[in-house]
Amino acid sequence: MKVSEIDDLSSVDAAIMLPLNNAHAKETSALDEASLTALIDMAFYARGIDRGATAFLIALDQDATYDSPNFLWFKACRESFVYIDRIIISSAARGQGLARSLYEDLFAAAKHAGHDRVVCEVNIDPPNRVSEAFHATMGFRAVGEATIRNATKTVRYLERVLG
C-alpha cells in the first residue's frame, strides 16, 4: 500500500467509520456518531483507507481535552506526546501492511510537527497478544501498566521515541 492511499479523515467520515469502530469495541470502545465526530475533531492525526471504512488511525496530542484514563495517564507522565487512541483494520484487510503503513505515516507526521514520542496502550487482561507483538516490532517499549474500567481491564502503556 502506498501512503498516497491514506486519506485525511474529517467529521463527515464518522458515519462511514462507525461500523468498523463498533465491530472492534472489545479492543477499543464503542462510540456513537457524535462521540466519534468529537474524537476526530480533536485529533492531531485522523487518517485512513476508504474514508475509514477499511482502516483508520486516530491520534491525539497532549493538548487534547480528552478524558480517557489512558490518555490522562500519559498526560500526567509526559510533557509532549502523540497518543494513539485507536487503530482499526477491517478483518478483510488484515495482513496487507495497512497498520504498519498508518503507523509509519503517523510517525512522520508527529516528527514533522516536532513531537519526539508516540504512545499508546495494549490490553494485557484480557490479552491482545497480536497487538503486543505488533507494537514490539514497531519499536514500542513498555513504560507502565494500569487496571481500568472498574478492574475489568488491565493495560500496558507503550512508547516509541522518534529518532
pTM of structure: 0.93
> Do the bridges between strand 82-89 and strand 55-61 make them parallel or antiparallel, or are there none, so unpaired?
antiparallel
Helical packing angle, 33-42 and 14-23, nearest 10°: 110
CATH at residue 55: 3.40.630.30
Q: Which domain covers residue 14, as residue numbers?
A: 3-161
User: Average of pLDDT values for 21-49?
Assistant: 92
Q: Name the DSSP class of 135.
A: H
Q: What is the pLDDT of residue 1?
A: 55
What's the domain count of the chain? 1
pLDDT bucket at 99, cuts 50 / 70 / 90: very high
Residue 114 in this model has a pLDDT that exceeds 70: yes
pLDDT bucket at 68, cuts 50 / 70 / 90: very high
